[in-house]
Amino acid sequence: MNGAESLARTLVAAGIDTVFANPGTSEMHFVAALDRVPGLRCVLGLAETVVTGCADGYGRVAGKPAATLLHCGPGLANGISNLHNARRAFTPIVNVVGDHATWHRPHDPPLAADTEALARTVSRWVRTAMDAASVGTRAVEAVQASLAPPGGIATLVLPADCAWDEGAQPAKPLAPPARGRVAPQAIESVARTLALREPTVLMLSGAALGEAGLHHAHRIAHATGARLFGPTQLPYIARGRGRPPVDRVPYVVDAALEALAGTRHLVLAGAKAPVAFFGYPGKPSEMWPKDCEVLELARVEEDVVAALEALADAVGAPRDPPLGSQPLSQPATGAFRPDAFAQTFATLIPENAIVAEDAVTSGRGLFPPTWGAAPHHWMQVTGGSIGYALPSATGAAVAAPSRKVICLQADGGAMYSLQSLWTQAREKLDVVNVIFANRRYAILQGELAAVGATPGPASNELFDLSRPDLDWVKLAGGMGVEAARVDSLERFADVFRAACARRGPFVIEFAI
Amino acid sequence: MNGAESLARTLVAAGIDTVFANPGTSEMHFVAALDRVPGLRCVLGLAETVVTGCADGYGRVAGKPAATLLHCGPGLANGISNLHNARRAFTPIVNVVGDHATWHRPHDPPLAADTEALARTVSRWVRTAMDAASVGTRAVEAVQASLAPPGGIATLVLPADCAWDEGAQPAKPLAPPARGRVAPQAIESVARTLALREPTVLMLSGAALGEAGLHHAHRIAHATGARLFGPTQLPYIARGRGRPPVDRVPYVVDAALEALAGTRHLVLAGAKAPVAFFGYPGKPSEMWPKDCEVLELARVEEDVVAALEALADAVGAPRDPPLGSQPLSQPATGAFRPDAFAQTFATLIPENAIVAEDAVTSGRGLFPPTWGAAPHHWMQVTGGSIGYALPSATGAAVAAPSRKVICLQADGGAMYSLQSLWTQAREKLDVVNVIFANRRYAILQGELAAVGATPGPASNELFDLSRPDLDWVKLAGGMGVEAARVDSLERFADVFRAACARRGPFVIEFAI
């Protein structure tokens, strides 16, 4: 057996069944092995940012890694920005990057690049196989590294000769690494703080945003008056009717400072203490009050759900406190306004849908009304690399073929990864893509104003996406995806409902 | 004056007049400075691979650097693959990458990444400004580093506070670094070898591929019988009627070995000794005969043109040897065949055009007939990162507004950087884009066969770009570019001529 086949068989044995790929010449033996080894679904992306964005969406939804297949250093480089988002979400991914044969590489052929250096910028684990015999072992190490809590990116570089040489064998899967338990003393310490009944915020992320984590967090909030927050960018949250309420830390620094003003204790449950997305002149990096104590209940890699349950019990919380009223908002009409869209969209979310969001300026205000929507999951661009929602939604639909996936993508970001639509068409994925076509980098116009500058010729050139207008109906059609343009909320609601009622991908360009 | 303005003024003073940009929040002060400082044309790319590919094409044609403006680590990462091509072509580029404020970065906000590590994989010079006062000095160092022969990528990381803090001043431009002269002894040594009249190949690259370099190389060939070769991927060559003949080293290893068989002396003039693009089982990396002596006339950073002239004089070559007959090929008809297209295309190249080529399998055979075409320049995907031709042609058109630019791009690569078309439309650039739509990764089908494998389900999924077919007329239309589809050589010739007769961008999808 050659190294490539040992890699494929090791991945299958370890429970990996999906490979998002954009292969090149140095990966031909691995592709040939994929032809021989049953059990791996191969999904092609026409640009690597699609491949890695798919793997991120897949991993967040499936809770297990997909593999990627990328071509040499430059191919990996094209996928790094969406791997950066995945890194910030702790998404498990096994990145396989083909490379030159070990004996060819020293000749510095044109495609040679520092693949490991590129990989290290986004990976928790990077290894280059040095011979065929060790490929299986390296592969099982990569799977383990991707799964070690809280999850992350493991990159295995596969030189071509390590793929084609014989003498390899698959490696046996290992037991999935377990999460560490939080020490009882740490839980008691937080319980004592909560008993003070001073203004407290419980910051939730990672596993704490799942159904069970939110349930116990809500018990704590109910019993102690603590407020629940998630990060500005949510990796994957259970949301909607029957799920407890939680706020996000606002993106705008002043709004975040106001939201957390008066907090005396900030308790971290799988979350980082919130810092500003960007630094601004005269504004702080840390968004909690200076006199606020920061306590860690559980690190993101620990068993945060068990810690929340234990804490809820420790503060004497009831098992099932009431959720309060979760009013469904009313659909609005007329032209796009962020809040009106948010109200409307909340009424339209299909039951058990997955929403992938990278809506930037159009998306602010989207979150609050979704508490009363049908139960769903919501995931966001965690690392700030725009163009996240299209490929992430694509990967989510591969992971969950029975669920409707909604992609909310601003047009600026959509142009980073529009190739995702072709994969949706190829795989007949059930994704409704909403493109917010404001035809400008609106966030940058806001940021320029925030630095006190008046727009001039350069900023006009650099923020304006009109001249010419992008036509998303044509772009989608060019990749085999049906599309429609809407310019009112009522028309959006009609088209969105119709798109959800059928299967397969659809694009709605909302001209706003 | 703040750091951002000192950067803009330093760049202008150093002769930089073009910025290809995809900015983000951390670059707002630089954008505001661009609004205040006259002399910099800002060209927006809707994805960073467009931005860096434009800068590569611009630099090859203009012979001086454009600046880029990229946003943090992930923005830079999106541009690395085309920077990799630029690195292999020794294209001068001043890469400006905004980043978090120095005091904000330690908080590890979501967009924080190892920007310097990413930059180092493609740059010859990387520095991060540490305060506003030093930005001007760093900028002029970056310009010098990009221009130091043979040219390369200098990356200046600009933390936001170094842009917005006051107390900065522009730095004065420095004299452009000169090329080192080749020692007379080295030239005499090569002349003695040539005097043996044994089979000799003169490998030309870099400046040797310009008009003067080719002229003197041809004198040497005429006087000594040496054969002239350029690398498989040409960075920028003067070609067509009135220019001396030169072959390229074939891409396919066996063909390259055959082309160079019997060579006793390989003389390098600004070129590397040719190695295989990829390693293959049982095939060598080095493509010259084992008993062939490799001599270096001039390194790529040396004054290779002067060395060629001195060598030509040393071997007693006449000043103006005849070029031989340069027959113009005849247009062919019928369906696409690579050789027939090459014959046809050579008849159509407009006088003084620039051709950017990333045609992969469709492009093999394109080169030979162009010797008899109208005078033009030809540039290729030097680093193997596909998706090169669309943005490179775009940047070339910015650099040379009076010249017609032809983009020859295979469809697989075209999907990596199709956003380039929008920039062409925005800037009304005079580019005729030919997309070779074979609807598959044909090169990979060939490579799979070369490793002896039979295509199966995985390779079928991963090499086939149909299901659905890409519609380049719609895709181009979605970005405001007129387009037409052709399926015969005669129809191609008609549409191509018409596209060249008008100004502005046009896309021809050649269904092949």
Q: What are the tens digits of pLDDT across the range B61-104? A: 999 999 999 999 999 999 999 999 999 999 999 999 999 999 99
Burial A180-212 (b: 16+ CB within 10 A, else e): eebeeebbeebbebbeeebbbbbbbbbbbbbee
B121, B102, B105: which is closest to B113 by C-alpha?
B105
B72, B103, B29, B114: which is closest to A286 by C-alpha?
B103
**Neighbour count for residue A396 (Cβ, 10 Å):** 32
Contact B415 A47 (CB under 8 A): yes
The C-alpha atoms of residue B211 and residue B375 are separated, in whole angstroms, by 11
| Torsion angle of C-alpha atoms B65, B415, B358, B342, degrees rounded to 10 | -140
pLDDT for A457: 86
A470, A501, A507, A502: which is closest to A485 by C-alpha?
A507
Contact B26 A104 (CB under 8 A): no
Contact A285 B478 (CB under 8 A): no
Residues of A whose CB is below 8 A from B84: 73-74, 77, 113
**How far from the centroid of its chain's Cα atoms is residue B235's Cα?**
5
Residue B166 DSSP code:
B
B199 Cα to chain A: minimum distance (Å): 24
The per-residue pLDDT for range A241-277, each reduced to its tens digit, is 999 999 999 999 999 999 999 999 999 999 999 999 9
Q: C-alpha distances in angstroms, A358 versus A86, A153, A171, A218, A386?
A: 14, 21, 39, 27, 7
The C-alpha atoms of residue B506 and residue B512 are separated, in whole angstroms, by 19
In the structure encoding, which two tokens stand for residue B354, read together?
A: 């620039």
The C-alpha atoms of residue A168 and residue B86 are separated, in whole angstroms, by 38
Contact A110 B443 (CB under 8 A): no
- Give me the total of CB pairs closer than 8 Å, taking one residue from chain A and one from chain B: 314
Contact B28 A478 (CB under 8 A): no
Residues of chain B with pLDDT under 50: none
Contact between A507 and A433 (Cβ < 8 Å): yes
> Is residue A221 classed as helix, strand or coil in its secondary structure?
helix
Name which of B17, B416, B443, B465 to mutate to probe chain A: the one with the most chain A Cβ atoms within 10 A of its Cβ.
Answer: B416
Give me the residue from A276, A281, A448 closest to B109, CB to CB.
A276
Q: C-alpha distances in angstroms, A14 versus A1, A95, B22?
A: 18, 15, 41
A211, pLDDT greater than 80 = yes
- CA nearest to A466 within chain B: B426
Domain A338-511, CATH = 3.40.50.970
The C-alpha atoms of residue A294 and residue A288 are separated, in whole angstroms, by 9
Which three-class secondary structure string do you get for A421-471? HHHHHHCCCCEEEEEEECCECHHHHHHHHHCCCCCCHHHHHHHECCCCCCC
Measured over all CA atoms, what is the biggest interatomic distance in chain B, rounded to whole angstroms? 68
Contact between A258 and A229 (Cβ < 8 Å): no
Residue B263 parent element (H or E): none
A450 Cα to chain B: minimum distance (Å): 9
Contact A109 B277 (CB under 8 A): yes
B429 Cα to chain A: minimum distance (Å): 13
pLDDT for B363: 78
B319 Cα to chain A: minimum distance (Å): 35
The amino acid that residue B356 corresponds to is A
Confidence class of residue A388 from pLDDT cuts 50, 70 and 90?
A: very high
> Is residue B367 classed as helix, strand or coil in its secondary structure?
coil
Give me the residue from B77, B103, B108 closest to A77, CB to CB.
B77
Q: Which CATH number fits domain A184-314: 3.40.190.290, 3.40.50.1220, 2.40.160.10, 3.40.50.720?
A: 3.40.50.1220
A431-437 sheet: strands from edge to edge: A237-239, A376-380, A353-358, A405-410, A431-437, A506-511, A482-486
In the structure encoding, which two tokens stand for residue B511, read together?
A: 């269904």
B133, B156, B140: which is closest to B14 by C-alpha?
B140
A362, pLDDT greater than 80 = no
Give me the residue from B25, B43, B455 closest to A278, CB to CB.
B25
B278 Cα to chain A: minimum distance (Å): 7
Q: C-alpha distances in angstroms, A24 versus A9, A21, A122, A391, A438?
A: 21, 10, 21, 20, 37
Name which of A28, A34, A386 to mutate to probe chain B: the one with the most chain B Cβ atoms within 10 A of its Cβ.
Answer: A28
Contact between B226 and B267 (Cβ < 8 Å): yes
Contact between A199 and A263 (Cβ < 8 Å): yes
| Torsion angle of C-alpha atoms A159, A165, A170, A171, degrees rounded to 10 | -60
The C-alpha atoms of residue B491 and residue A257 are separated, in whole angstroms, by 64
B129 Cα to chain A: minimum distance (Å): 16
A371, A376, A195, A228: which is closest to A308 by C-alpha?
A228
Q: C-alpha distances in angstroms, A477 versus A18, A507, B316?
A: 27, 9, 64
Please name every residue paired with B166 in a beta bridge, in sequence order, or none if there are none.
Answer: B2
Crossing angle between the packed helical segments A211-224 and A184-195, to the nearest 10 degrees: 40
Say if A3-164 and A338-511 have the same CATH topology.
yes
Residues of B whose CB is below 8 A from A110: 88, 232-233, 277, 382-384
**DSSP strand E in A218-282: where?**
227-230, 237-239, 247-248, 265-269
**How far from the centroid of its chain's Cα atoms is residue A73's Cα?**
23
pLDDT for B83: 98
Residues of A whose CB is below 8 A from B467: 426
Residues of B whose CB is below 8 A from A107: 275-276, 285-286
Which three-class secondary structure string do you get for B461-481? HHHECCCCCCCHHHHHHHCCC
The C-alpha atoms of residue B461 and residue A43 are separated, in whole angstroms, by 7
The C-alpha atoms of residue B142 and residue B156 are separated, in whole angstroms, by 7
- CA nearest to B383 within chain A: A110
The C-alpha atoms of residue A469 and residue B350 are separated, in whole angstroms, by 31
Confidence class of residue A451 from pLDDT cuts 50, 70 and 90?
A: confident
A123 Cα to chain B: minimum distance (Å): 11
The C-alpha atoms of residue B123 and residue A217 are separated, in whole angstroms, by 48
The C-alpha atoms of residue A46 and residue A30 are separated, in whole angstroms, by 18
Residue B291 DSSP code:
T
Residues of B whose CB is below 8 A from A73: 84, 121
Residues of B whose CB is below 8 A from A121: 73, 77, 113-114, 117-118
The C-alpha atoms of residue B426 and residue A462 are separated, in whole angstroms, by 11
Contact A459 B35 (CB under 8 A): yes
B72 Cα to chain A: minimum distance (Å): 10
Residues of A whose CB is below 8 A from B26: 278
The per-residue pLDDT for range A137-186, each reduced to its tens digit, is 999 999 999 999 999 999 999 999 999 999 999 999 999 999 999 999 99
| Domain extents in chain B | 3-164, 184-314, 338-511
Write down how long chain B is.
Answer: 512
Contact A34 B77 (CB under 8 A): no
Residues of B whose CB is below 8 A from A419: 415, 418
Name which of A451, A465, A471, A485 to mutate to probe chain B: the one with the most chain B Cβ atoms within 10 A of its Cβ.
Answer: A451
Calculate the average pLDDT of chain A.
Answer: 96
B55 Cα to chain A: minimum distance (Å): 16
Q: C-alpha distances in angstroms, A114 versus A74, A121, B155?
A: 9, 12, 17
Residues of A whose CB is below 8 A from B418: 418-419
Residues of A whose CB is below 8 A from B35: 453-459
End-to-end CA distance of chain A: 57
Give me the residue from A109, A453, A471 closest to B275, CB to CB.
A109
pLDDT for A384: 95
Contact between B158 and B3 (Cβ < 8 Å): yes
pLDDT for B259: 97
Domain A3-164, CATH = 3.40.50.970
Confidence class of residue A503 from pLDDT cuts 50, 70 and 90?
A: very high
